[in-house]
A and B are shown apart, each in its own frame.
Chain A
Amino acid sequence: MIDNRPIDFGQFWYSLGKELSEIPVAAETEILQMRSTDFADLYGVHMSSIGPYKIYGYLSVPKGDGPFPVIYYVPKNASVLEIIPQGTSNQIRSRYITFSVACRGMRTSDSPYSAMYPGQLTDGIESMSTYVYRGIVADTLRGLDFLLTFPHINKSSIVAWGNDNALLAGALHGAVTHIVSTPSFLYDSIQQASQTSSYPLEEFNDYFRLNPEKRDEVSKILAYYDLKFHASAITAETLIMADHEGGLHDSKTLSEFKENMSGQVTLHTSERSSYRDGMFAEEWVTEKLFGHDVAPIVPNHWKSE
């Protein structure tokens, strides 16, 4: 296990930022009438990222003048790009600009590279120059670059929401003001993988089973992406959705990470209920962005009345 941040960690991420800045966002937007409603319009957005590589996102904009707070759904470790996460009230699009981005390899961003799931997390991991995740991080940051060009956003309320990539977005892009993250695969990845047989972390176990001689090299590569080395750069107010007690990414495992983060952090231990955990996240975001007196927008079956 690599215990120390790589010496050239800062340089590595600076060079990515510089490379990204030299590629214009070059956004092309098209309205998607079928997914537009009387309270929000939906657009498909094509953007350029490093490579160069064309990626795609769904941008939903409430009717009205704005400015509107933003929920940025970061790229997933899965093939499907959703407009908003399954089970989220569609009415949320009346309050927030929502933007979901497919990183390279996901559907709608899969030409020419179509990732496999499982498979994406270890794709090209044999060397620093071939590992796909550098591009995935770039795609995650590119989504924020696009949002900053959009005139109707409230720049003081930009929430990065999703998996580990939400935390990377907060660490590497100054636009993020709030984070809701469920860390799943970039925190101390190899050590965590050794304790599970579940994907996506099982990808590392699979890889080392066939390539045991690569362990040291892969450890060095993953250190650049390890959340624990990004913690101090995260200043956004953050909600971490931890596993249930005893789970792989539980509050005990993540406590040191939490302590090292620079912004205010709330750590929520999963109640093993998508309803209870989901309500907690919706209430947290609503309170942070609108205060105590505004009710969260939740699905019908989560309403008490």
Chain B
Amino acid sequence: MGVDRDYKCRVIKPDDFNEFWGLVIDELAGIELNIVCEEDKLRSDENTTVYQVFFDSLDRVRVSGWYSVPNSPKERLPAILLVPGYQSDPPIPKDWSAKGYACLSINPRGKVRSRNQFDPGYPGLLTHRIVDRNTYSYRGFYADAWRGVDFLLSRKEVDSDRIGVAGSSQGGGLTITTSAMRKEIKAASAGAPYLCGFMDAIELTDTYPYQEINDYLRINPDSSEQVENTLAYFDGISFADQISCPIIINIGLQDNVCPPETGYSLFETIGSNDKKLFEYDGHGHEAGRYVHSAIIDQFFDEHLKR
């Protein structure tokens, strides 16, 4: 199937987009982090100390993460916020620490170890309370990722001027929203970005997880307009013009999960003057990972390491 590189997603950024998210940011600011950071001796090794992290986020939901730090750093460290895929379990990011970064791998609400207060399940998360933007699952989910930046800023070993964000698939989508909303982010790498061009993606693909929305609309055909209205507030493309940091995007032209058309449309919308798109023909949702990993490493080295 040929890919239209000039494809434009139909989402229109709502007029009150900034007002909506401004209220969320204000609400988040009023909630203490209440950080617990416990060393996990089982997962730590001679090079890296791994911590289990817990803190409060929107609606006082307790979210967790894995925090990994190189042992005995000689100076303050650059840091990476690693944001997770949709159905995969957030990894312990020892590989990032081996490259010299402090790294928080966050488990937003509903993910493993962050399920006690909120757990719509999989499938389920993508359409949970979708008819109201004020109760939609991703309102809190996005805020949890942004809260990860606050955690990193609280760490004395982290250089607050050298924080990046990275992820693929849903992690790619969260990279977009986080780099748009948190100006502390100095570099961003988004792979195969999900949560971008929702209403186009459900027509371009016939695969889960986007199929969850089609499932929902099949049962609730009268909710179509409400669903589209809600998703406009959560679409990565609506956030993208607010990104000002250097950013790289990689997409697979045979991506069967996050259609490449939405990647092109997203890329055009990104506000940063320092943006680059890597297209991998012959690749699916892994979006050329085996080649692109080295590019990501080099990108963060250039932007976050002195």
Contact = CB atoms under 8 A, between A and B. Distances in A.
B167 interface: no
B80 interface: no
B95 interface: yes
| Interface SS, A side | loop
B92 A278 contact: no
B38 interface: no
A35 B217 CA distance: 11
Contacts of A304: 1
Given A199-B91, A300-B204, A304-B1, A206 B256 contact: no
Contacts of B290: 244, 272
B134 interface: no
Contacts of B285: 86-87, 274
A78 B91 CA distance: 11
A37 interface: yes
B43 A206 contact: yes
A33 interface: yes
B194 to A, nearest CB: 10
A302 B123 contact: no
Nearest to A205: B45
Interface string B195-213: 0000000001111110100
Nearest to B91: A199
Contacts of A78: 87-89
Contact of B86 (A34, A37, A86, A274): A86
Interface string A25-44: 00000000111010000000
Contacts of B257: 86-87
Interface string A73-90: 000001111111011111
A82 B211 CA distance: 12
B220 to A, nearest CB: 9
Given A107-B122, A278-B256, A82 B87 contact: yes
A273 B280 CA distance: 10
Nearest to B40: A206
Nearest to B48: A197
Interface string B76-89: 00000000001111
Contact of A207 (B42, B94, B123, B282): B42
Contact of B256 (A108, A197, A299): A299
Given A117-B89, A210-B41, A301-B1, A81 B122 contact: yes
Interface size grouping (class) on chain A? 35 or more
A305 B43 CA distance: 48
A176 to B, nearest CB: 25
Contact of A33 (B86, B112, B219): B219
Contact of A117 (B45, B112, B289): B112
A304 B254 CA distance: 10
Contacts of A107: 121-122
A179 to B, nearest CB: 22
Contacts of A209: 42, 45
A18 interface: no
B256 A275 contact: yes
Contacts of A82: 87, 122-123, 208
Contacts of A81: 122
Interface of A: 33-35, 37, 78-84, 86-91, 107-108, 116-118, 197-199, 202, 205-207, 209-210, 244, 272-276, 278, 298-305
Interface of B: 1, 3, 41-43, 45, 86-89, 91-92, 94-95, 98, 112-113, 121-123, 204-209, 211, 215-216, 218-219, 252-257, 259-260, 282-286, 289-290
